[in-house]
Structure 1
């Protein structure tokens, strides 16, 4: 989710998500069974960043590490920047879904000039997209609203008590990757960025906007299970070209595509734990992630139960990951 990044529930959804994350944060779950002939897995400290797609990744990998590799998995609810700080101290071993973050790479990865406490562990298979979105009813009623050049014409429609005389552009968690304040300024848009505060709040705001036919424009992203419930429509910003976002203060282009990757601590990579091999092998699709995220957020399943349901239904993918970790099916 990214620089700062992407991702909404007030009422029941907020409560459900808070309970879900609260239940996994800081917990240690150990399975006593070690893989036959395998190496001792030891502990794996898994950061859980604050969006449900990440949570889906984390618990699928974590559940397999617990039940098939015999690891003790410690889930830690942290934002993106804090997660990377934990690589050097040993408090974090794995960031299972990274949205770019060149500033963190330069600080912590040796091949980027950093201190060498973090290393890349390969792609997740997920393609990340960040942008501005409107509810479907709004795009249907005002088709030209999906071109950024026309947004000022509609700015008054988006006024709220939080934005005064300007239109409100909603962002999610302040820790998400976002260029939105710079974009509003550099594109001379009559809008003010207002933070909804969380992925759940942003989702609920979009849900309400569609149900009640109220105007809303906001930051959002894919992969994201909610888009199967409300197919938000992306606004066309000036086309992204390589380097157009090099200066965060001067950004005036759309977000780049984000091939999402995994990042681990150097000490974890060198530990010999089969959990590292599992993390490296883990790769799935946006549809895979969205399904597990839906189980957690919409169906309100326990994250480990959601992971098990997907794992049981996808033996071929799971067996390939486990084989890389030295475990036969």
Structure 2
């Protein structure tokens, strides 16, 4: 009985040995279906960080949502977003605190300093988005006062726009104090009986126009495109009316204190630190290639501002639905 058990055990061990030998031989032949997980090529961004400035408007946040998602999920980078005003963002280039500004509105003075003189920054190409800035009134005001959209007639309507903050003058409402604006100089140089009042944020500006439209209250304010609110009620049904300021001509805004003309159309571009341009690798290539439309941006902006999505979820949704577009940006 004992001998039989030992014999059966010996036979079993022999079979196991043959199986292991076969596995070992198979292993020496190399994998047949591709590299093992341990030997997989790491993503280009593994262990690397990209510092992106986030300026205070939702369209900018939309740019960053999409770029950050691709950098992290497709290229393996760690992205650090830094909430900064526009000028402060530029100041981060020489210190290394900022690698990228994804949406730059003009700023010829900052370009002269950081790109031309200090050479700590450079353009990474156009964003593909055209920026428009102007003064607007609700549609109902144009219907009731047909000539109100001409700047030369604003003074006769100034009383309509008086508020507790503007005193005995009409109010011209501006947005975030860090935004690109010539409004104080324009009011002075066009001799308008108005006071520029800062609303404090993009959200406050949008709410003011929505309420002025639905409640039929007078409002003259700074506004811009791209902007998700244009495509949503009530503004989609009753579009704001732009005030005709003196026509923009090249150089008419060269002296900020002497500006007496309309805003130009802004061909928005991306700015990166010189260090990032030379050492940023795949991340720099992606950002240089990143180019989309006003509609693309407004689509993501609306998800964040109006549908309550996080920037991360909005970025993922757009990327999932537009692979043909973003694949063209990949390094």
Q: TM-score range by the shorter chain?
A: 0.7 to 0.9
Corresponding position: 1:93 with 2:96: no
Matched, 1:306 2:314: yes
Residue 270 of structure 1 aligns to a residue in which SS? helix
Find the aligned partners of 1:211 and 1:267 in 2 and give their Cα distance: 50
Partner of 1:106: 112
2:45–2:78 CA contact under 8 A, matched in 1 = no
Listed as ranges, the matches of 1:27-66 within 5 Å are 36=41, 39-40=44-45, 42-66=48-72
User: 1:40: Cα distance to partner?
Assistant: 3.7
TM superposition shift of 1:312: 1.2
Picking from 268, 277, 280, the partner of 1:269 is 277
In the alignment, the residues of structure 2 paired with residue 272 and residue 313 of structure 1 have an alpha-carbon distance, to the nearest angstrom, of 27
Cα deviation 1:138-194 (Å, max 9, x = unaligned): 122222111111111110000000011100000001110000000001101110000
Aligned counterparts of 1:248 and 1:204: Cα–Cα separation in 2: 29
- The secondary structure found in structure 2 opposite 1:143 is coil
Deviations along 1:113-153, one digit per CA (max 9) or x if unpaired, are x2111110000000000110111221222221111111111
Deviates more, 1:69-78 or 1:225-234: 225-234
SS at match of 1:121: strand
| Distance in 2 of aligned mates of 1:272 and 1:155 | 52
- Tell me the equivalent position of 1:213: 216
Aligned length: 287
**2:155 matched residue in structure 1:** 152
Cα separation, 1, equivalents of 2:299 and 2:41: 31
Runs of 4+ displaced beyond 4 Å: 35-38
Residue 129 of structure 2 corresponds to residue 126 of structure 1: yes
Pairwise CA RMSD: 1.4
**Structure 1: distance between partners of 2:109 and 2:280:** 29
TM-score by length of 2: 0.85
Greater relative CO, 1 or 2 (CA 8 Å, sep 6+) = 1
Mean CA deviation greater in 272-281 or 45-54? 272-281
- Secondary structure, counterpart of 1:307 in structure 2: helix
Match of 2:165 among 150, 162, 166: 162
Is 1:181 the counterpart of 2:187 in the alignment?
no
Which residue is equivalent to 2:34? none
Q: CA deviation at 1:273?
A: 2.1
TM-score scaled to structure 1, two decimals? 0.85
Partner SS state of residue 194, structure 1: strand
Is residue 44–residue 76 contact of structure 2 (8 Å, CA) maintained in 1? no
Aligned mates of 2:95, 2:119 — CA distance in 1? 12
Displacement of 1:272: 4.2
Question: C-alpha deviations, 1:46-79, integer Å up to 9, x for none?
Answer: 0000000000001100110000000000010000
